[in-house]
Amino acid sequence: MNNERKEAIRKYKERKIPRGIFVIRSTATGRCWVDSSPNLESPRNMNWSALRTGAHRNHDLQAEWTAHGEASFEFEIVEMLDEDIVEMAIRDTLKEKRREWAAKLAAPTVTP
């Protein structure tokens, strides 16, 4: 394996994974749903895939998507956790932040 490839692999393994809170918002109705993720690089694709196939776990969100279509939805990251949070505290911190944002926006969470 050449040095450039080894260096690229090392950098990939050392990269900081963005963690935080996101909102899925219907522009047609203004409704939104809040959730959190330990890796903000993946939830948009995961949710959109489930919604497109009609298999999303949140039935209200799925019904809204079916009624108004993909073009009426936005994905927004509303808060990212600090990188210095201890690994053991990430799950609880995400849960608390998800509750805070749901209350702030008067919105349900994506995961019922």
Is residue 68 in some structural domain?
A: yes
Question: What pLDDT score does 5 carry?
Answer: 83
Residue 75 CB neighbours (<10 A): 14
Is residue 9 in some structural domain?
A: no
| For the chain, the helix, strand and coil percentages under 3-state DSSP, each to the nearest 5 | 50, 20, 30
Is residue 42 in some structural domain?
A: yes
pLDDT band for position 47 (50/70/90)?
very high
pTM to 2 decimals?
0.84
Q: Is the pLDDT of residue 12 over 80?
A: no
Is residue 23 in some structural domain?
A: yes
How far is the CA of 52 from the CAs of 3, 6, 67, in angstroms?
A: 42, 38, 12
Is residue 46 in some structural domain?
A: yes
Is residue 24 in some structural domain?
A: yes
Is residue 3 in some structural domain?
A: no
Of residues 91 and 10, more confidently modeled:
91
Q: Is the pLDDT of residue 1 over 70?
A: no
Instruction: Give the CATH number of the domain where residue 51 resides.
Output: 3.40.1440.10
The radius of gyration computed from the CA coordinates of the chain, to the nearest angstrom, equals 17
The structural domain count of the chain equals: 1
pLDDT band for position 112 (50/70/90)?
low
The tens digit of pLDDT for each residue in 61-80 reads 999 999 999 999 999 999 99
Q: Is the pLDDT of residue 13 over 90?
A: no
Task: Determine the structural domain holding residue 99 and report its residue range.
Answer: 16-105
Is residue 6 in some structural domain?
A: no
